[in-house]
Amino acid sequence: MLYLIGLGLSYKSDITVRGLEAVKNCTRVYLEHYTSILMAASKEELEEFYGKEVILADRELVESGSADILRDADKENVAFLVVGDPFGATTHTDLVLRAKKDKIPVEVIHNASVMNAVGSCGLQLYNFGQTISMVFFTDSWRPDSWYDKVMENRKIGLHTLVLLDIKVKEQSLENMARGRLIYEPPRYMSIAQCCQQLLEIEELRAEKAYTADTPVVGISRLGSPTQSFKAGTIKELAEYDAGEPLHSLVILGRQSHELELEYLLEFTDNKEKFKNDVIADQEYFKPAPWVPPVEEED
Amino acid sequence: MLYLIGLGLSYKSDITVRGLEAVKNCTRVYLEHYTSILMAASKEELEEFYGKEVILADRELVESGSADILRDADKENVAFLVVGDPFGATTHTDLVLRAKKDKIPVEVIHNASVMNAVGSCGLQLYNFGQTISMVFFTDSWRPDSWYDKVMENRKIGLHTLVLLDIKVKEQSLENMARGRLIYEPPRYMSIAQCCQQLLEIEELRAEKAYTADTPVVGISRLGSPTQSFKAGTIKELAEYDAGEPLHSLVILGRQSHELELEYLLEFTDNKEKFKNDVIADQEYFKPAPWVPPVEEED
C-alpha cells in the first residue's frame, strides 16, 4: 500500500491520528521536501515522533525516481508525507497514476493546507477565484502570466490567493554548468517582495488589474504558533517586515461582506484608512448601475 | 481558551493529534451539527474516543446561544468541533468575533475539508473558481443565483465546486406554524438531484452557462472508506445512483490539462465518450484564435 499522508501546516502533531497510525505501520517513510516545509518541526523531531527513519524526497527523487519510492509497495506499506494536503498546492497525481499502473493500492489521508486554512484570515473561501504562484524574479526572467488571472478574478469580484516561491536545494547557474552538486541555501519569498513584484508588473502592464492601493492580506506562518495576519494596501505591505517564512498573500476582490471586513480590521494599522481603501478599490470592476427600462408609449 | 477544532472528513481518527490533545483538556466539548456530518463516526463513538461528553450544537445554539458556548471560556478550555475545517464551507467567524469581544483567547486547529480534499478527484485546486451551494428546490422556491457564478467561472475556464444542501433538524412549515418542536428526518441532496436541478435551470435560463453534455465529477463520501468518484455529463449523472451521503459535484471548466483528464478517465463508464464530451465542451467560452497583425505596407 502507498499512503499519501498530509502533515498539515506546522506542528509535528498536526498529522491526523489516522495518519500517524499509518506511518507507524510503514517500512519506508518519505517526506516531500521541495514544495513546502513543516514550520515547527525538524526531520529529527519527526523521526522521534514517528519512531521511524524519514527519507527526504527532493524534486529529482519524486519526478525521476518514483520507482524507488514505489519499490515493493505492493507487498509492504510505504508512506509519502506531504506538508499540507497531498492534493494541495502541488498535486501528486503523477505518483498516484504510476502506483495505479503498477497495481499498487493507494490510500490518501487528507489534512489542512493553505488552500483551505487561508479561510482563517476571515475571508469566505466561497469567494476565492483561481490561485496564482509568484516566483522570484531574476534579471532575465520576470514572468507575469499570473497578472491576467488576477484580472479575471477581480473582474468577477473574487479574491486571489498568491502562493509565494520557495527555493530548496537549488543550484546556482555556475555550479549547474560545472556539474557541481553544491546547493544554494533555501530561500522563501516574503510578503514584501511579492508586493514589490506586484507593483512592478502593474506599472509595466498598466491595465489596472489592481493598483498600489488595492487591499491585500499578508499571511505569515499560517497554522504555526507565531501565525500572523496583516491587512493593508499593496503599497503598504511592500514595506512590511513579516518575519520568518512561510508567507502568503490574498488580493481582495470586490465581494467582501461586512462581517469579513470587520474581521480584517483587527489586522490593520489604521482601521479607518483600510475601510476607505476597500471602498475605493470596490469602484474597480463595479457592475454598471441598474437602469429601469424605458416604458414604451402606447 | 476557545478551541475551534476541525474534525476532517470522515473517521473519528481524522482529528489531528494536536486537536485530540486539546479536546482532552477541555471541560466542555460542542460538536457543530447542522452544516455537515462526520460520516464514519457517531456521537457515542466520538465520546468514547475523546473520553468526554459531546454536546450537539444545532444552528439555534450557535447563532443565538453563543453565550452558552463561550460561558467561562476565559477561565476554562472549551472546544467547538467542526466537521471539515472550522473556516471551511461555513465560516464560524461570528463565534470568533464574539469570543474576541469577550477577551477570550481563541486557537484554531485546522483540518481537511471538502474545499481542499476535492483535489483528490484529480483536478488541480489552482483552477477552481468560486464555490456554489445548491439547495433543495421547493414548489415555491427555486433559487438560481448560482447560475451566474457558474457562468462567470466557466467564462474564464475554471472548475466549480458545488456543495449540496443538507437539512438537519428542520421543521415542516405546518409544525413551525403551530409552534410544534417536531423535526423532519435529515435529508442530504444527491448528485442526481443536483444534476436534475442544474438541467432545469439551464432549460429555463438557456444562456449556456453549461449544457446537458457538460462534463462533471460526482464525489461521494469524500475521505470515507467508501469514497467514490464518477465522471460523466450532467445528463448522465442526473440518473446516477451514488449511494449514501454526503455528495458533492464539480462542474468542469475549460482549463483541464492532460494529466488531470487521464486521472478522471478512471472514473468514467466510457473513456472514449468522456474524452469527446470534454473536447466538445471546451468549445464553449473558447478564446478567439490568434490572428497575426496585418503587416503595414511600406
Tell me which residue in A127, A223, A263 faces B130 most closely, judged by beta carbons. A127
pLDDT at A90: 61
Task: Check if the beta carbon of residue A172 is closer than 8 Å to that of residue A138.
Answer: no
pLDDT at B279: 95
Give residues 68 to 97 of A whose Cβ lies within 8 Å of B.
85-89, 91, 93-94, 96-97
Task: Check if the beta carbon of residue B108 is closer than 8 Å to that of residue B7.
Answer: no
- Residues of A with CB below 8 A from B115's CB? 115-116, 119, 125
pLDDT at A91: 62
Chain A residue at shortest CA distance from B21: A13
Q: Measured between alpha carbons, how far is B31 from B58 in angstroms, rounded to an integer?
A: 9
pLDDT at B297: 61
Q: Measured between alpha carbons, how far is A129 from A115 in angstroms, rounded to an integer?
A: 11
How distant is the alpha carbon of residue A111 from its chain centre?
14
Which of B93, B118, B229, B250 to mutate to test binding with chain A, by most A CBs within 10 Å of its CB? B93
DSSP state of B287: P
DSSP state of B290: P
* Contact (CB<8Å) A16/B8: yes
> Is the per-residue pLDDT at A60 higher than 60?
yes
Q: Does B45 touch chain A (CB under 8 A)?
A: no
Tell me which residue in A15, A21, A85 faces B116 most closely, judged by beta carbons. A85
Give residues 253 to 292 of A whose Cβ lies within 8 Å of B.
259-260, 262-263, 266
> Is the per-residue pLDDT at A182 higher than 90?
no
Tell me which residue in B6, B21, B126 faces A112 most closely, judged by beta carbons. B6
pLDDT at B298: 58
ipTM value of the model? 0.92
pLDDT at A89: 57
Does residue B60 or residue A46 have the better pLDDT?
Answer: A46
- Residues of B with CB below 8 A from A9's CB? 110
The C-alpha R_g of chain A, in whole angstroms, comes to: 22
Helix (H) or strand (E) holding B3: strand B2-6
Q: Does B158 touch chain A (CB under 8 A)?
A: yes
Q: Measured between alpha carbons, how far is A97 from B259 in angstroms, rounded to an integer?
A: 9
Q: Does B119 touch chain A (CB under 8 A)?
A: yes
Mean pLDDT over each residue of chain A, to the nearest integer: 92
Q: Measured between alpha carbons, how far is A223 from A9 in angstroms, rounded to an integer?
A: 6
* Contact (CB<8Å) A100/B266: yes
Q: How many helices (H) and strands (E) does chain B have?
A: 12, 12
* Contact (CB<8Å) A125/B89: yes
> Is the per-residue pLDDT at A294 higher than 80?
no
Helix (H) or strand (E) holding B51: none
The C-alpha R_g of chain B, in whole angstroms, comes to: 22
- Residues of A with CB below 8 A from B127's CB? 130
Q: Which residue has the cell 557541481?
A: A180
Looking at residue B137, its amino acid is F
DSSP character string of B68-116: HHHTTTTTS-EEEEESB-TTSSS--HHHHHHHHHTT--EEEE----HHH
pLDDT at B46: 94
A10, B60, B80, B186 from B170: Cα distances, Å: 39, 11, 22, 8
Tally A–B CB contacts below 8 A: 154
Q: Measured between alpha carbons, how far is B298 from B242 in angstroms, rounded to an integer?
A: 67
pLDDT at A297: 61
> Is the per-residue pLDDT at A40 higher than 90?
no
Task: Sketch out chain A's domains with CATH numbers.
Answer: 2-112 (3.40.1010.10), 115-282 (3.30.950.10)
Q: Measured between alpha carbons, how far is A3 from A30 in angstroms, rounded to an integer?
A: 10
- Long-range contacts made by residues B141-148, C-beta under 8 angstroms, separation at least 24? B142/B197, B142/B200, B142/B201, B144/B201, B144/B204, B144/B205, B147/B201, B147/B202, B147/B205, B147/B207, B147/B209, B148/B209
Q: What are phi and psi of B232, to 5 degrees?
A: -175, -170
pLDDT at A273: 98
* Contact (CB<8Å) A130/B127: yes
pLDDT at B294: 77
Q: Which residue has the cell 498539515?
A: A8
Q: Strands A78-82 and A2-6: what pairing?
A: parallel
pLDDT at B141: 95
pLDDT at B239: 98
Find the angle CA(A39)-CA(A43)-CA(A49) to the nearest 5 degrees.
95
pTM score: 0.93
Looking at residue B100, its amino acid is K
pLDDT in tens, A62-98: 888 788 999 999 999 999 999 999 987 566 888 888 9
Q: Measured between alpha carbons, how far is B82 from B112 in angstroms, rounded to an integer?
A: 11
Q: Does B226 touch chain A (CB under 8 A)?
A: no
Does residue B134 or residue A294 have the better pLDDT?
Answer: B134
Q: Measured between alpha carbons, how far is A145 from A132 in angstroms, rounded to an integer?
A: 9
DSSP character string of chain A: -EEEEE-BSS-GGGSBHHHHHHHHT-SEEEEE-SS---TT--HHHHHHHHTS--EEE-HHHHHH-HHHHHTTTTTS-EEEEESB-TTSSS--HHHHHHHHHTT--EEEE----HHHHGGGGSS-GGGB---EEEPPP-SS----THHHHHHHHHHTT-BEEEEEPEE-SPPPHHHHHTT----PPPEE--HHHHHHHHHHHHHHH-S-SS-TT-EEEEEESTTSTT-EEEEEEHHHHTT----SS-EEEEE--S---HHHHHHHHTT-S-HHHHHHHHHHHTTTTPPPPP-PPPPPP-
Q: Measured between alpha carbons, how far is B287 from A44 in angstroms, rounded to an integer?
A: 51
Output the tens digit of pLDDT for each of chain B's 298 residues.
999 999 999 999 999 999 999 999 999 999 988 777 777 788 999 999 999 999 998 888 888 878 899 999 999 999 999 999 998 756 688 888 899 999 999 999 999 999 999 999 999 999 999 999 999 999 999 999 999 999 999 999 999 999 999 988 778 888 888 888 888 888 999 999 999 999 999 999 999 999 999 999 999 999 999 999 999 999 999 999 999 999 999 999 998 888 889 999 999 999 999 999 999 999 999 887 778 777 766 5
> How confident is the model over A146-162, as a mean pLDDT?
97
Helix axes B191-205, B146-155, angle to 10 degrees: 80
pLDDT at A298: 58
- Residues of B with CB below 8 A from A17's CB? 13-17, 20
Tell me which residue in B17, B116, B126 faces A130 most closely, judged by beta carbons. B126
- Residues of A with CB below 8 A from B248's CB? none
Q: Measured between alpha carbons, how far is B236 from B229 in angstroms, rounded to an integer?
A: 14
Bridge partners of A228, per DSSP, are A220
